[in-house]
């Protein structure tokens, strides 16, 4: 599939944000910690979520999914993850913690790199090792064995979101007390902790330190996933970039602090209520620099969308990504539209740009959304290929954009003549 975008003068109206992908994935993994029934509502209908369902099924679980409600039942039987699924979903590493909490062994295909650059899992592995899991690598697989998974005092070298989740999952059902220092505090982790507590886990957090008292048995739970702050940020930035006035509903503004303050600094009018954000984009916006970092700093996932927005600012701005310093693969594609950008020493400098449509190729999930929004700003027609990336993480993206008046459609790719 490809996206066909035409210049759109403004976005007007309102959109509803779906459940959070990055909260849904660890919550699904947490279902492996019990054989009781778990019901998860507000589950976004996404490719990544469906791959996680396939992983759970592979391990013995039954998953039913209808109208954004997932029901997970059945026993965890196997702890072996096939390479095909692991390659499709990096977040599949999140099942390591629960598998090792419940089974004496597990084997996982190595996740490998991705379009955001090198993505090691050493912090996950050091934590699991400290808890008593030994592993070796054989023919591209990590083979884990443990006697007892026991609580440990772990200090992360860097606050990794995935490692924090994996270790919390393992610790919730391990024997004894685990302390995780210098951990991540992203809202999606708070959501995972809420779900784990609903299952009976004992978790407390003080600053960036989590303390978990492991429980021999965790039960089922009925839970609703938080709204997707990255999807909310995407639509907020779409309105700020294209122009107009849009209300983004079912969003939690308190999760979007860094983005909203940067937009205000750029001159974009923002008003917020408890569950919605309204954006009024002026004719001219000011250039504003960003540096991404662990929450509550500016999220790396919104960095490509910020770059697109800054192309219409009157002056030069810059982006430094401290989480994924190589996350600039989209720059060359945007240049094909006429983006005036220079990437040097891992800093992207963005100048005011006049865009005109052509064919471009999405390289990852957030870059795909950024390119489609750039296509709405460009003169003429922009065709964005490789939409498979977009479907991994945005539910009904085109329907939502069209509801705001965006001139965008999806087409099947026809064979070249
Ligand atoms: C999660 C999000 C992703 C987001 C990212 C940063 C999910 C499913 N994905 O990814 O959308 O962009 O957080 O907010 O929630 N690192 C190591 N060793 C490790 C683990 C991480 O060096 O063992 C490094 C990574 O290479 C990266 C940084 O730490 O440079 C942050 O990664 P991490 O927070 O773990 O991101 P993910 O959990 O993979």
Which pTM was predicted?
0.97
Å from CA of 161 to ligand 1 middle: 5
Residues classed as catalytic: 114
Å from CA of 324 to ligand 1 middle: 8
| Alpha carbon distance 361, 337 (integer Å) | 11
Give the helix ranges, DSSP H, for 59-95.
83-88
Q: Note whether 382 and 358 are within 8 A (CB).
A: yes
Å from CA of 202 to ligand 1 middle: 25
For 198-351, strand residue ranges (E) read 202-206, 209-213, 222-224, 244-249, 269-273, 276-281, 290-292, 317-321, 341-344, 347-350
Is 80 exceeded by the pLDDT of residue 81? yes
Substitution candidate for ligand 1 out of 25, 116, 161, 167 with most atoms within 8 A of CB: 161
Show me where the domains of the chain are located: 2-18+227-411, 21-224
Å from CA of 120 to ligand 1 middle: 9
CATH of 2-18+227-411, one of 1.10.3720.10, 3.10.20.30, 3.65.10.10, 3.40.50.150: 3.65.10.10
Q: Assess whether the region 2-18+227-411 and the region 21-224 belong to the same CATH fold.
A: yes
| Alpha carbon distance 53, 62 (integer Å) | 9
Is 70 exceeded by the pLDDT of residue 271? yes
Q: What is the pLDDT of residue 116?
A: 72
Q: What is the DSSP letter of 356?
A: B
The helix or strand, by DSSP H or E, that contains position 30, with its residue range, turns out to be helix 21-30
Å from CA of 394 to ligand 1 middle: 19
Tokens encoding 247: 């209300």
Per the document, the length of the chain is 417
Write out pLDDT tens, residues 204-219. 999 999 999 999 999 9
Q: Within 6 Å (CB) of ligand 1, which residues are found?
A: 22, 25, 91, 119-124, 158, 160-163, 300-301, 323-324
Q: Note whether 282 and 266 are within 8 A (CB).
A: no
Using 50, 70 and 90 to split pLDDT, how confident is the model at 127? very high
| Residue owning the nearest CA to atom 20 of ligand 1 | 121
Q: What is the pLDDT of residue 346?
A: 93
Q: What is the pLDDT of residue 111?
A: 76
Q: Note whether 2 and 411 are within 8 A (CB).
A: yes
Task: Give the fold, CATH level 3, of 21-224.
Answer: UDP-n-acetylglucosamine1-carboxyvinyl-transferase; Chain (3.65.10)
Is 70 exceeded by the pLDDT of residue 415? no
| Residue owning the nearest CA to atom 2 of ligand 1 | 22
Q: What is the pLDDT of residue 417?
A: 43
Residues 6+ apart with CB under 8 A from 345: none
The helix or strand, by DSSP H or E, that contains position 137, with its residue range, turns out to be strand 133-138
| Residue owning the nearest CA to atom 21 of ligand 1 | 160
Substitution candidate for ligand 1 out of 92, 125, 323 with most atoms within 8 A of CB: 323
Atom of ligand 1 nearest to the CA of 21: 8
The residue among 130 and 86 whose pLDDT is bigger is: 130
Q: What is the DSSP letter of 117?
A: B
Is 90 exceeded by the pLDDT of residue 342? yes
Is 60 exceeded by the pLDDT of residue 113? no
| Alpha carbon distance 59, 268 (integer Å) | 48
Q: What is the DSSP letter of 95?
A: G
Write out pLDDT tens, residues 297-326. 999 999 999 999 999 999 999 999 999 999
Write out pLDDT tens, residues 142-196. 999 999 999 999 999 999 999 999 999 999 999 999 999 999 999 999 999 999 9
Question: If 0-12 CB within 10 Å is exposed, 13-18 middle and 19+ buried, where does residue 265 land?
Answer: middle
């Amino acid at each position: 599939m490809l996206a066909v975008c035409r210049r759109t003068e403004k976005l007007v109206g309102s959109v509803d944000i779906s459940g959070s992908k990055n909260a849904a994935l660890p919550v699904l993994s947490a279902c492996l910690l019990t054989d009781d029934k778990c019901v998860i509502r507000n589950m976004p209908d996404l490719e990544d979520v469906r791959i996680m369902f396939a992983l759970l099924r592979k391990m013995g679980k039954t998953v039913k999914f209808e109208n954004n409600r997932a029901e997970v039942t059945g026993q965890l039987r196997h702890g072996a993850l096939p390479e095909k699924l692991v390659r499709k979903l990096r977040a599949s590493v999140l099942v390591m913690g629960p598998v090792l909490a419940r089974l004496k062994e597990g084997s996982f295909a190595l996740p490998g790199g991705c379009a955001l650059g090198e993505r090691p899992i050493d912090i996950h592995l050091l934590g699991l090792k400290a808890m008593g899991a030994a592993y070796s690598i054989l023919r591209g697989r990590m083979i884990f064995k443990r006697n007892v998974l026991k609580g440990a005092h772990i200090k992360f070298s860097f606050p990794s979101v995935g490692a924090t989740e994996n270790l919390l999952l393992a610790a919730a059902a391990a024997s004894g007390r685990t302390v995780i220092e210098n951990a991540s505090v992203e809202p999606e982790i708070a959501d995972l902790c809420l779900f784990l507590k609903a299952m009976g886990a004992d978790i407390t957090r003080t600053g960036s330190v989590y303390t978990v008292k492991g429980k021999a048995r965790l039960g089922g739970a009925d839970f609703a996933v938080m709204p997707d702050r990255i999807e909310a940020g995407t639509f907020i930035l779409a309105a700020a970039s294209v122009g107009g006035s849009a209300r983004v509903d079912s969003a939690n503004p308190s999760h979007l602090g860094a983005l909203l303050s940067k937009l205000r600094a750029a001159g974009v009018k923002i008003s917020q209520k408890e569950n919605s954000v309204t954006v009024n984009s002026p004719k001219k916006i000011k250039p504003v620099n960003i540096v991404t970092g662990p929450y509550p700093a500016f999220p790396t996932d919104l960095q490509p969308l910020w770059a697109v927005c800054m192309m219409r600012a009157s002056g030069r701005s810059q982006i430094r990504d401290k989480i994924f310093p190589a996350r600039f693969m989209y720059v060359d594609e945007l240049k094909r539209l006429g983006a005036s950008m220079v990437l040097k020493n891992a800093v992207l400098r963005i100048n005011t740009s006049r865009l005109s449509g052509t064919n471009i190729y999405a390289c990852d999930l957030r870059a795909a959304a950024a390119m489609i929004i750039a296509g709405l700003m460009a003169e003429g027609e922009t065709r964005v290929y490789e939409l498979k990336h977009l479907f991994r993480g945005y539910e009904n993206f085109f329907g939502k954009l069209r509801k705001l008046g965006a001139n965008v459609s999806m087409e099947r790719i026809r064979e070249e003549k």
